[in-house]
Structure 1
């Protein structure tokens, strides 16, 4: 039990530092892609910072594994974290390193209210589109048969893909680019569905509140009023039973 408490405290303490590292992680990944003509020294520096942050994420996972009371349960319940750390070792799956930026936020999203969760999902959707455009541009740039050679083109492709529009004017040719497309299709279905569902639910709630006449009692209000009436009736009956019976004046 003590180890689980230490694990929760560790996750709370490292939440904000890991979020900052995630943002920096995206920055050092995006800079060389958006500026292909940057100086080699800066490119090597970005790669070094990228690798260092990835190593810190690995250390953070190992610390949580060490603090967990049931190691096997922790690995099974945090398989996504482990996959994000291990799979990018393979060159075609290197873009999966960017998922480290999402797993930190996802760890706390389950405890949020519907409003905060909707904001999180919308923000995550936008971030996934931006990051997927970076990943596919890195994979496709320089390929002779690819038609995705600039970030605006990659961004247009990402938007069309995640919304399942798929005009077909832009498409990846490399294996890495197609893996990014598959991940974007799978993740986009859930994110877009949740976003549109939350928006529709919010609109329905607002319309219901607007159309309901002023002063109209809800079922909960009526049930509460009935309980109060029954309570008063019980108190009156109890008072009557305790009071002495009136004497007959003719006697």
Structure 2
């Protein structure tokens, strides 16, 4: 048996998050694919509806295992829920999993001693992909909720996709809007997510520029009187 002390929980949690980042991202894509089939496929498209349902529930169980592992490794106990509220939110609402990109942005912000372009470029690229996925997820959810609602202006998936683009970019033409309660809840979440993603992109780019300029100033020889 080794006499080396066990790593502290935050270190173990960090390693777990680094190792599962890509697999969980792939699982999120599978979840979104299954949900898309459930929403967009015709009602008589069997066995695709059943396969999609199995895919949705199996990936959600994977998210649940990951959440339980994070809870155990964090050492926070019941405090994990409020401290890591975003992890809790995306477990309850898996369509919001793209918003976990905000945690990547915060991790980069803590590494101010390493102003490498690839770190910030990774955040900006991930934010762009996240915006697409979040918009697609919101389009599916709103189409599912609105298509049969009385007085709805969103009747087709094309209408929903157009609405998501206008909302995510904060343009808001107003020609299509949710009329149901849950549809408006999704809309509010998409607005908040769009602002968070925009802040992540602009914040990362600004931080990188500031640090580069700071280094350039430090390299300049002092001015002579």
Normalised by the length of structure 1, the TM-score is: 0.69
SS at match of 2:136: helix
Query: In structure 2, what is the equivalent of residue 221 of structure 1?
Result: 220
Matched residue, 2:42: 36
Q: CA deviation at 1:193?
A: 4.5
Deviations 1:25-61 (A, max 9, x none): 1111112222234524321221122112112211211
Tell me what 2:82 maps to.
Answer: 76
Q: With a CA cutoff of 8 Å and minimum separation of 6, indicate the structure with the bigger relative contact order.
A: 2
- Taking a change above 3 Å as real, the CA distance of residues 173 and 66 of structure 1, as seen in their structure-2 partners, is same
Equivalent in the alignment of 2:179? 173
1:2 aligned residue: 7
Match of 2:107 in 1: 111
User: Matched residue of 1:146: which SS?
Assistant: coil
Uncovered stretches (5+) of structure 1, i.e. residues with no partner: 87-95, 210-216, 227-251
Alignment of 1:97 onto 2:100? no
Partner of 2:113: none
Confirm whether residue 22 of structure 1 aligns to residue 28 of structure 2. yes
For the 8 Å contact 1:125–1:192, the answer to whether it is kept is no
| Maintained 8 Å contact 1:32/1:38 | no
CA distance in 2: counterparts of 1:179 and 1:111, whole angstroms: 29
The runs of 5 or more residues in structure 2 that have no matched partner are: 1-5, 109-118
Q: How many residues align?
A: 203
Q: Higher Cα Rg: structure 1 or 2? A: 1
TM value normalised by structure 2: 0.76
Aligned-residue offset at 1:196? 5.5
Counterpart-to-counterpart distance in 2, 1:80 and 1:144: 34
